[in-house]
Amino acid sequence: MAVFLVKGARNNTFGNIADAGPFEVYLNNETPSARAGEPGVDLLVHNIYDDTDSKLEDIVAEGISYTNVVSKDSLNAGLGLTTSVVGPQFIFRSVSNCTNGFTYIPPSPTPTVSITPSVTPSVTPTISITPSATTSVTPTISVTPSITPTTSNTPSTTPSVTPTISITPTTSITPSITPTKTVSTTATPTVSLTPTISVTPSTSVTPGVSPTRTPSNTPPPSVTRTPSRSVTRTPSVSVSRTPSISITSTPSTSVTPSISVSKTPPNSPAGRSSSMIGQVGSTNCTQACADIPDTVVWHVGPTIQNGSTLYTSQTGTGTISGGYFTYADECWVYSAGAYYSADCQCVIEGTLIATSPSSSVAVETLQVGDEVLSKNISELPNTDEPDILTAWSGSNIDGPSSKALVTSNSGFSIRGIYNFNSGSLSTTSKHLHIVRTDNIWYVKRASDIVVGDYYEDINGNLIEITDINFEDRETTVYKLNIETDDVYYANNILTHNSK
């Protein structure tokens, strides 16, 4: 079952419907079989603090009787709508006065988070390249001398030597690359090395040949001479091999990492804050205010706001269950989001509540049905709604004394109270007080009162507030509600009751 809260408003002001109603309430479609109050219709219309207190009434308007309808006053005060139907729509149709209406569609309980950051980091790696070159040169020399002897009286032999030199250098280059990068992603740089090797061997071949011949060349006349030639060929070949090898290694390195990062985290919304709330799942504000905040929840933004989604962890998608809970001395309800319901307005244990002008009892002793001293203030709005009361101001709080009946009185422990005038009155921070500021009367929360404001006591005298202290301690407090008039005297000081 889910609980939805609806409150009447006109011209953007809550509780301001004046010329419409009573209203029939329908679930999902405007047919008789879907109307609240009809048998089998899965819809309860009730007090926002108590799902057993039905707000469907029988009302006579302009001489016509209507059954199972909601009055404009109930809608102005706020209604609770309970149903097990998923994704409900609630249709309110005015049956008298102006016959307008409206449809309330609760917000979706599933937030959609879409985060697509585009990150293009600038990476400037520093690359140190130290090439190590080892050159192995193995020249192969082939010498083929060609000798053509010339015979003369003084023979001179000049051999022609044409050496063929083949040099095959083998060059091994091992560059050592040490990039220095600080990059949060994975980059794959492309390194292109183009060494230029210039090999210029210089070869000088200088053979020296010195043949020595001593032929016998004194032939007898008219005789065919067959000279006896003795040739000694001892060519001395001196080959100087000093190849000059110049290696110029100029690698051209180009590093252009292209990094494209696309991240779409599924559900890790940024900026979640944590808050302490009371145990979730109470059925009404009285139970919720009795819980000490001891449950951690997570939400977007610094504080819980109307409509906030309350998560059970900082990064997960799980949310809390439905029901009432307490937060910052306030009663809230969770139904597809968190919504403010009421303040936890309390006085501390031992506060004396006046039952007559001359007698009083401790607040913890009061029972439902007991009478307490009250006051009928004609200018004060007859409501328990804090938003309406704190928006009120008046020139006086005149009115006769009256009697009011205790309708509820629950006690519980809470941490942190406001102490006024050294203990003359101590309440929770959200308790509503009636005070005068600059000759104008207001209803203020305890946390909004300032030194220089005035209370009124049981005798009608003004009591100046001279000091205010916040005490960070755990104490027992009581949430007292009375009717019909909503004010009572606590420690002989006029104050407002709780919802």
- Residue 347 corresponds to which tokens in the numbers above? 């006085």
20, 72 contact by CB (below 8 A) = yes
Q: Using the structure block, give the residue that is written with the tokens 């946390």.
A: 447
pLDDT at residue 169 is higher than 50: no
- 349: buried, middle or exposed (CB in 10 Å: 19+, 13-18, 0-12)? middle
- 212: buried, middle or exposed (CB in 10 Å: 19+, 13-18, 0-12)? exposed
**Cα dihedral sign, 329-331-335-336:** negative
| Domain ranges across the chain | 2-104, 272-343, 347-496
Per residue in 179-236, pLDDT (tens digit) is: 444 434 344 444 444 444 343 444 343 444 344 444 444 444 443 444 444 434 444 4
- Residue 310 corresponds to which tokens in the numbers above? 């309350």
Q: What does pTM read for this prediction?
A: 0.43
Preceding peptide of 22 cis, ω within 30°: yes
Which superfamily does CATH assign the domain made up of 347-496 to? Hedgehog/Intein (Hint) domain (2.170.16.10)
CA distances for 337 relative to 106, 114, 207, 271, 390, angstroms? 10, 19, 106, 18, 25
- Residue 403 corresponds to which tokens in the numbers above? 């009697």
- CB atoms under 10 Å from CB of 251, counted, come to 15
What letter does residue 448 receive in the DSSP assignment? G
Can you give the three-state secondary structure of 342-381, one letter per residue?
A: EECCCEECCCEEEEECCEEEEHHHCCCCCEEEEECCCCCC
pLDDT for res 119: 45
pLDDT for res 165: 44
- 392: buried, middle or exposed (CB in 10 Å: 19+, 13-18, 0-12)? middle
- 79-88, 122-131, 202-211: least confidently modelled range: 202-211
Per residue in 287-343, pLDDT (tens digit) is: 787 677 789 999 999 999 999 999 999 999 999 999 999 887 788 999 989 998 777
CA nearest neighbour of 16 among 287, 383, 449: 383
| Angstrom distance (rounded) from CA 427 to CA 345 | 8
